[in-house]
Amino acid sequence: MTVRALIVSDRPEFRQLLAHHVTLEWRDALPAEYEPARRGRLQASFRGSVYDVVLLDHEVQEGRGLEWLEDLGDRAGFPPIVYFAPAGDERAMRAGASRVLARLEFDHEQFAAALREALVERHNVLAGTSRAALEPPPPDRFGSVRIRGYRCVRRIAVGGSSSVFLAAVEGTGEARVLKVFRQVPDAVEGTTTFDRFLREFDLAARLDHPNIARIHDLGVADDHVYLAMEYFPGGDLRSRMSGPLPWRDALVYVRQLAAALGALHDIGVLHRDVKPGNVLLRGDGSVAFIDFGLARQLDLDSDITGNGAIFGTPHYMSPEQGHGLTLDGRSDLYSLGIVLHEMLSGVKPFRAETPLAVIYMHANEPLPRLPPAVAHLQPLLDVLLAKRPADRPASAAEIIARVDELLGLAAA
């Protein structure tokens, strides 16, 4: 039997290990390797039709394996995926894995058994016993979730807690963006969590602020929370940041984002996940926040401490957020400072091999320095990235005033 396996991992030694196990069990096997860090994501048109099984490493693109898993698993006719997860991580089966093995603790017998089961599954699908899996999905299906009243146009992105789709409203054809969250809310903390989330989103959705995404619909379909919001043709800020931005553009963005944070803080809502991927651009060049308050309320992001959940994205977390301390608006302002640094320099200020190491750096490393060309903005960055909340501006309004002064000097 010729087994055709695609091995997806950024670690050459791990790819070689998996290839060795494949050829040890099937001598005429044809393992192929794919390195996401170098080659990027697999194109949306890729269906893996020439492969019998895909071996996917959790550590692709710095631990974004679950995003890959959900993306590939939603593609019609895609081969079974054997997922290599950290020990004890049970999320992969919910995200679409055919089989899950502990990344560093499996033995050859477990490996071979998992692949044989996946190969049987693949054979059955190709033989026609599961033809429904190869049929085009209904127009109102978004991944594994059906949402009435919307037609799926295409998937835009896959995130750590959700998938994002471009949709059209049935009947009118108006463009909407649907964000469908992976985890069932009531299965995490009980019904009070979802009720609290709804109250907070109701407050935020009532805000008529130019730098906060307009919310059109919020609901539950197939036990998954979904959010329908305005469509942003400019994409997200991350896509705009292929390198350092002109400093005036960066300050204009920071001013708009600070204004949005101020409006949220005024109604008692913290964003808690300020990062370029949560900032979207309109056709006129203005920016708007999405996802305010969501990660903490729904427990949708990774628990990276082992001692009670800490939610958000480690590269943008304030020191107090990274250590599970009480937060206020100054935590969001710190995260905004990290985004400012990245816009001005093109790189994240604190980088390390693990999330915990990044969290440690936020609390203990010296403040990052800006390139000489934008050194005149160092005082603004320093005050935003102060280690102690008490040393940061007390409100977003103070940031706006500082930015206005800098832009005013530039205009003069």
Catalytic residues: 273
Helices (H) and strands (E) in the chain, counts: 15, 14
Q: Residues 183, 301: contact at Cβ < 8 Å?
A: no
- For the chain, report the end-to-end CA distance as a whole number of angstroms: 75
> Positive or negative CA dihedral for 19, 24, 25, 27?
positive
Provide CB contacts within 8 A for 400, sequence distance 6+: 255, 258, 259, 262
Question: Which pair of structure tokens corresponds to residue 310?
Answer: 């800490």
Of 109, 119, 168, 113, residue with least CA distance to 142: 168
8 A C-beta contact, residue 29 and residue 2: yes
| CA separation for the pair 33, 31 (Å, rounded) | 7
User: In this structure, which amino acid lies at residue 103?
Assistant: R
- Residues in a beta bridge with 215: 229
Residues 300, 320: contact at Cβ < 8 Å? no
d(CA 179, CA 288): 16
Concatenated DSSP letters of 279-333: EEE-TTS-EEE--TTHHHHHT-S---SSSS---S-GGG--HHHHTT----HHHHH
Q: 230 burial class (0-12, 13-18, 19+ CB within 10 angstroms)?
A: middle
Distances 392 to 90, 349, 369, 396, 406 between C-alpha atoms, Å: 39, 18, 17, 10, 18
Helix axes 329-345, 396-411, angle to 10 degrees: 30
